[in-house]
Chain A
């Protein structure tokens, strides 16, 4: 059972465009993380959001945690080719002290 649904699964855009990636669940999470993974490498943590409604910014990336702590979004402004990669969200379930649940990922391609 996939508890975290990511959309879209694949996104191909032109450099300079904006985009939003969504991570949705029917479960409540105590925290939610976003990772970026490049080919042949392990995922790298971008951000952790822990409070319902929280917004965090990392340069051109904006992360939001839903008020009910069931969903999150990642917005990229003026995408650049260096943003290309696989974006993964991961939720820390409130009923399980250590088991992270990962979404299936959004593969982003930013064309020059």
Chain B
């Protein structure tokens, strides 16, 4: 099993550009999440999904969109990138018990 995979590993955008961060898992987990990690602030939940076709907002959803058409994939879209979205983004999945998270390797995004 590959676990949780994320692409790309690194990305540089200009302000106003859009892009999609890809996330896939092969563990058949129902729950998937997107987090951003900033220095001194830990991990903050952006959006999450409890199954295909079901998504909901987390703590910091503004500027991001998600969709979940399959159990395996959970892409995160930045509609119009802003410098405040410079961060490291982690996708995670969980089988549900106690919300134990299995994280991907992350995407480091810089918005100029």
**In the complex the two chains form, is A42's CB within 8 Å of B90's CB?**
yes
**In the complex the two chains form, is A98's CB within 8 Å of B99's CB?**
yes
Could you tell me how many residues of chain A have their Cβ less than 8 Å away from some Cβ of chain B?
Answer: 25
Q: How far is B75's CA from A92's CA once the two chains are assembled, in angstroms? A: 24
Task: Judge if B40 is at the interface, Cβ distance under 8 Å.
Answer: yes
Which residues of chain B (29-73) have a CB below 8 Å from chain A?
31, 35, 40-45, 48, 50, 58-59
Q: Given the known A-B contacts A41-B106, A42-B106, A48-B98, are A88 and B48 also in contact in the complex, defined by CB atoms under 8 Å?
A: no
Interface residues of A (CB under 8 A from B): 2, 4, 9, 30-31, 33, 35, 40-45, 48, 50, 88, 90, 92, 98-100, 102-105
| 9 additional A-B residue pairs with CB within 8 Å, beyond A41-B106, A102-B43 | A9-B40, A31-B99, A33-B98, A45-B101, A90-B43, A90-B99, A98-B99, A103-B42, A105-B42
